[in-house]
Amino acid sequence: MAGRQEKALIGFVGLGMMGLPMVHKLQQAGHRLVVWNREPEAYDQLSDVLIAENPRAVAEQAGIIFLCVLDDRAVDDVVFGQRGIAEAANPSHLIVDHSTGLPVPTQARAEKLKSSCGADWVDAPVSGGPGYAREGKLTIMAGGDPDALARAAPFMDAYAGRTTLMGPVGAGQTAKVINQAICGVGYVLMAEVHRLATQSGLAAERLPQCLAGGHADSALLQYAYPKIDAQDFVPVASKASQMAKDLKNVEAEIKRLGLALPIVQLARKRYADYVEAGHGDDETASISKLYK
């Protein structure tokens, strides 16, 4: 690997819609990376990185390893599966998991890693989508030991606009559950508000301007509503299938806590129905098509 030798080698596992722009931002900040991805075609979009044969090989070369994979099952596989990170981990290792999962499995996973090899775990799910990752504006919700987070923070600064420690391991995933509840309900609300506005006969496209700065204003009103009004769903900034998956996690946590939250659960059903109808790869805001 040529150049950037003054920077420590760090690991990154998972080069999907979020992982790739995060890796690019790390490279722009001058960090040297060793990476692994299940689908090797992702490597075609990278240069000047070391490519590992498997997750274990990442841990053999890097002390801090960032994960950005699909779900709890994928995290278990790359960490504890055959040729996984845990096979090479030791007390000097730190795993920072940007994947979206559930709090209780995350806590169990961190305890298992700590007891088996002494390595630390920070759960750090992200919000903002690939565009925010490219711009270095992601919101990161973290759970873990403050000293462990401090080790990772200088690297996350490359792609994060805000990082907040919400509590011990699992707290990041809990904050992500709340984040996705807000987003899922919000997108459905924007679709319904847009339907109301267009059927009422007012100048529907002016609504974000009209309500800006008031109590009804929101990032979703300023971002999602105009996309819905313009039917501007290409390129896809985030997928309906991802929202459906995240809302499934939200509903699981609602049930675990013994709560009844019908508005959130209705939003989950809307996205589940939308994905089941073949729209999983469509833009998240296109849920508004259900209201035509």
The encoded tokens of residue 93 equal 């290792």
Peptide bond into 208 cis (omega under 30): no
Count the Cβ atoms, other than its own, within 10 Å of residue 80.
16
CA 10 and chain centroid, separation: 20
| Active-site pick, 25, 176, 227, 245 | 176
Residue 49, φ and ψ in degrees, nearest 5: -130, 160
Helices (H), 29-102: 55-61, 72-80
Taking Cα atoms as reference points, which of 125, 100, 130 lies closest to residue 237?
A: 130
Cα→Cα distances 22→103, 175, 250, 292, Å: 23, 21, 25, 36
Q: How many CA atoms lie within 13 A of 36 on its CB side?
A: 22
Does 176 participate in catalysis according to the annotation? yes
Extended strands (E) in the chain: 9-13, 32-36, 50-51, 64-67, 94-97, 120-123, 126-127, 138-143, 160-167
Q: Whole-angstrom Cα distance, residue 45 to residue 41?
A: 8
Any idea which residues carry the catalytic annotation?
Answer: 176
